[in-house]
Structure 1
Amino acid sequence: MRSTRRALAAVVGAAALLVASACGTGEDDDSTASKVEVFTWWAEGGEKAGLDALVSRFTTTCPGQEFVGGAVAGGAGVNAKQVLNARLQQNDPPDTFQVHAGAELLDHIDSGQIKDLTSEFSSWGLTGTLPEGLIETITVNGALWSVPVGVHRANVVWTNDQVLARSGILTAPKTLDAFIADLGRLRRDGIESPLALGRDWTQLMLLESVLISDLGPKRFTGLFTGATKWESRAVRAAIDDYARILDFSNPDRDSLDWPDAERLLIDGKAGYQLMGDWLAADLEANNFSGYDSFTFPGNGRAFQWLADSFALPTRAVNPAGGSCWLQTVASPEGQQAFNVQKGSIPARTDAPTTGFSDYQLAAAGDWKSGVAVPSCAHGSACSQPWQNAANAALGAFSTSGDATALQSALAAAAKQFVRQG
């Protein structure tokens, strides 16, 4: 197991962050125009600390602009996306908003709601500093639409070491069968819910990890391009493996967000939790250091990535301020400041890694040498409507256990939403 016992972040004090900042355009002295509403779902823990670090950089680099936080709490932006979509439809956009890089932006692009940032990528020094695979994924219709600030790894299992040690589990499982055997061992030793799990998108994360193990990275990625069929026997076998693992999770999973599931891990009521590597910063913020992590069993060198990024709405009230926020996000210094707090790694390969934890340094190495695999649960592999359909199908399966219905629903979603090329 890879040790992650190092404090990743200290949560910045909860002072109001209405700080003078900006791009130095000097074009508009109007007090309303100088306010920059930055819409995110980073409301607490390591996520909030990372946002605060960006605000500090923004204050320095963008004199004349005033940061206005527009955070809507909820894991993976499940609540924020609903609010954002309503505002965009009502022509009331924030000046910039957080989004997962990749296919999650398709509807916004098709609706003409966000600006083409291709020329800015060149002027802000992003050309040649982002991995080719990342650029390929976030390019739509030959253009670039969001600025990635940090990369997270989704396919990571986190442990409560004391819980595992009491059952004599001292090494990380390498296969799905070995993982399931360890889950069973914990249950026999009195841990009723060995795997801590939350609702909808966290269940999709688990299914995706199982699919990567059973299909391999290439065929898994093909599920979202049409190259791999959801109706296949291989997918059904993966769903059956998923069901075996789901049986070891907490019965109240459909009512919990990921921090609630994390509490089961911290309190010793679970031995494992599958969650992206932002969990490390949150565990440290909760003063819990008795954890380790490992790549989901059977995933091998697959690095299932998601990238936090920011887009610029076409109808923003203060486009200059929004643009300056994106320029701060794009800078090597901004990416270092953000990621050292949030527990992710810079999207830029030339950003400093000063202050990074052992885990972050190792993840940065894996990002360069591993096999990049996108995530539907976090918007890099599929559009938001597709993600919503998959979440609904998994929610139904969580209650019914009907594997045939789940596979049919996932296949139907793919037929509806897959976009060739």
Structure 2
Amino acid sequence: MRGGLSKTLAVLSAAGLLAVSACGNSDDSGSNGGGASANKDVTVFTWWADGGEKAGLDGMVSVFNTECKDYKFVNSAVAGGAGSNAKQVLANDLQAGKPPSTFQAHAGAELSDYINAGQVDDISDLYKEFGLDKAFPQNLIDNLTVDGKIYSIPANVHRANMVWTNPAVMKKANLDPATGPASVDAWIADMDKLKAAGVKTPLAISKGFAQEMVLEVVLLAELGPDKFTGLWKGEGWDGAEVKAALDKYKKLLSYTNVDREAIDWPDALQYLNKGQAAYFVMGDWVAAQQLANKVADTAYTYWPAPGTAGNFQYLSDSFTLPTNGADPDGAKCWLKVTGSADGQKAFNTKKGSIPARSDAVPADYPKYQQSAMADWKKDKIVPSCAHGAACTLGQNNDILSALSQFSGSQDVAKLQSALGTATKPS
């Protein structure tokens, strides 16, 4: 994320939010959606441009082309892990008063910037119209609801607190690739064994949000789910437990590739696939990426990050109805497909995520998704700050800036202070 989310983005985002009129599509579009609807183009803005992400998008587009024949899908994807570049482009478009028909955003706190400035319309009525109030689990609907209103339709649920492994590399140190260490301390001990066995880079990592994900799994493991969730509300950053966790995060960075500030997550994944690393912390979109790269199931294993088993750290990609967006009627058809059983199946079987709908059939999904669907039902649900469920864009921007500085300085005290400042309630 960090590449496109500088402090400039926070300013541009706010400016873009305020540049758009607060009048909703439902108020002024009419049955045909005005002049924008006349061209029938539905411009869908995402950051799904490559690999499994694009494959998932293509799957949903195929359903859209069948269910929404009166409209034409226009792909407005911008490449960049977790929207690092896309969010900058979107901010510029909004500042220019040119919102797309619909845009991708992480469900949760990340939407608050758009909601507070009246940039996205309330689509609660669409939940009833499309039957989503019955199809989605209540705990997810509760997480999506802001002051009694809902502003996006989730296409999926992802799990963030996952570690992907290379069994062949782990066996060099006589480590069991099928079972994750019970704690961060045990994980560090295993990395020492790998180093001793000649593995130069036990842990692969990339820039920006990938570093934040490693930080998050360490904090979740060391503090537990309740204190971890409280951090993103500005609670407890100055405690000794946090200091100890940050020391362990610093230790983990010492096992990583030296080019971590220069590569994105698909490149870091190649460290794993090429046998140059044993571990890679990343969300379950890796499953789709491995499928797209034609990596055999036997070439990797996966488990919840050490110390986080029993917790499902979630994020959700969702779509909005922008205020004064292009072709609102076509956008509503896209939103209907997004939440539909067929749309979610076509999307998630290729994306590596699981459907938001409760009526999905696990047998329809690949091996990883089946395990994730089972865990989603039984695990403690905790949010991801790195992917917008727990933090606003502005908060996350400051966190990413602090982590980038820490990657070079290794100053734990400065990082702890910066994280506390970044998450203070506004």
* TM-score, normalization by structure 1: 0.90
Distance across 2 between alignment mates of 1:152 and 1:137:
14
Q: 1:399 to 1:91 in 2, by over 3 A?
A: same
Q: 2:155 corresponds to which residue? A: 149
Q: 2:59 aligns with which of 44, 53, 60?
A: 53
Q: 2:5 corresponds to which residue? A: none
Q: 1:180 corresponds to which residue? A: 188
Does the CA contact (< 8 Å) of 2:237 and 2:419 recur in 1? yes
Q: 1:300 corresponds to which residue? A: 309
Q: 1:376 aligns with which of 382, 385, 402?
A: 385
Does the CA contact (< 8 Å) of 2:37 and 2:329 recur in 1? no
CA deviation digits over 1:250-302, x for unaligned, max 9? 11111111001011111111010000011011112222220000100001201
Does the CA contact (< 8 Å) of 1:151 and 1:346 recur in 2? yes
Q: 2:364 corresponds to which residue? A: 355
2:166 aligned with 1:160: yes
Distance across 2 between alignment mates of 1:129 and 1:235:
39
2:396 aligned with 1:387: yes
Q: 1:352 to 1:59 in 2, by over 3 A?
A: farther
Does the CA contact (< 8 Å) of 2:102 and 2:320 recur in 1? yes
Q: 2:284 corresponds to which residue? A: 277
Distance across 1 between alignment mates of 2:212 and 2:159:
15
Does the CA contact (< 8 Å) of 2:164 and 2:279 recur in 1? yes
Distance across 2 between alignment mates of 1:281 and 1:414:
32
2:127 aligned with 1:118: no
Q: CA deviation at 1:30?
A: 8.0
Does the CA contact (< 8 Å) of 1:230 and 1:414 recur in 2? no
Distance across 2 between alignment mates of 1:173 and 1:354:
29
Does the CA contact (< 8 Å) of 1:214 and 1:234 recur in 2? yes
* TM-score, normalization by structure 2: 0.89
Distance across 2 between alignment mates of 1:352 and 1:314:
35
Does the CA contact (< 8 Å) of 2:44 and 2:76 recur in 1? yes
Q: CA deviation at 1:132?
A: 2.9
Aligned residues between the structures:
392
Residue 373 of structure 2 aligns to a residue whose secondary structure is helix
Distance across 1 between alignment mates of 2:35 and 2:325:
17
Q: 1:318 corresponds to which residue? A: 327
Residue 280 of structure 2 aligns to a residue whose secondary structure is strand
Distance across 2 between alignment mates of 1:395 and 1:32:
46
Q: 2:240 corresponds to which residue? A: 233
Which consecutive residues of structure 2, in runs of 5 or more, have no partner in the other structure? 1-30
Q: 2:228 corresponds to which residue? A: 220
Q: CA deviation at 1:31?
A: 8.2
Does the CA contact (< 8 Å) of 1:129 and 1:350 recur in 2? yes
Does the CA contact (< 8 Å) of 1:183 and 1:194 recur in 2? yes
Q: 1:4 corresponds to which residue? A: none
2:141 aligned with 1:135: yes
Q: 1:400 aligns with which of 405, 409, 423?
A: 409
Distance across 2 between alignment mates of 1:27 and 1:244:
56
2:318 aligned with 1:309: yes
Distance across 1 between alignment mates of 2:346 and 2:363:
9
Does the CA contact (< 8 Å) of 1:333 and 1:352 recur in 2? no
Residue 317 of structure 2 aligns to a residue whose secondary structure is strand
Q: 2:197 corresponds to which residue? A: 189
Does the CA contact (< 8 Å) of 1:158 and 1:273 recur in 2? yes
Q: 1:8 corresponds to which residue? A: none
Structure 2: which amino acid aligns with 1:412? T
Q: CA deviation at 1:33?
A: 2.6
Residue 390 of structure 2 aligns to a residue whose secondary structure is coil
Distance across 1 between alignment mates of 2:121 and 2:34:
21
2:77 aligned with 1:68: no
CA deviation digits over 1:51-91, x for unaligned, max 9? 01111100111121000000000000010011011111211
Does the CA contact (< 8 Å) of 1:302 and 1:371 recur in 2? yes
Q: 2:293 aligns with which of 286, 296, 320?
A: 286
Q: 1:225 to 1:31 in 2, by over 3 A?
A: closer
Q: 1:64 to 1:241 in 2, by over 3 A?
A: same
Does the CA contact (< 8 Å) of 1:38 and 1:70 recur in 2? yes
Which consecutive residues of structure 1, in runs of 5 or more, have no partner in the other structure? 1-24
Structure 2: which amino acid aligns with 1:173? P
Distance across 1 between alignment mates of 2:338 and 2:36:
24
Distance across 2 between alignment mates of 1:414 and 1:99:
20
Residue 213 of structure 1 aligns to a residue whose secondary structure is helix
2:111 aligned with 1:105: yes
Does the CA contact (< 8 Å) of 1:336 and 1:354 recur in 2? no
Structure 2: which amino acid aligns with 1:46? G
Does the CA contact (< 8 Å) of 1:223 and 1:230 recur in 2? yes
Q: 1:33 aligns with which of 8, 31, 39?
A: 39
Distance across 1 between alignment mates of 2:103 and 2:81:
16
Q: CA deviation at 1:32?
A: 5.7
Does the CA contact (< 8 Å) of 1:114 and 1:313 recur in 2? yes
Say which is worse superposed, 102-111 or 66-75, in terms of deviation.
102-111
Distance across 2 between alignment mates of 1:159 and 1:151:
22
Identity %: 48
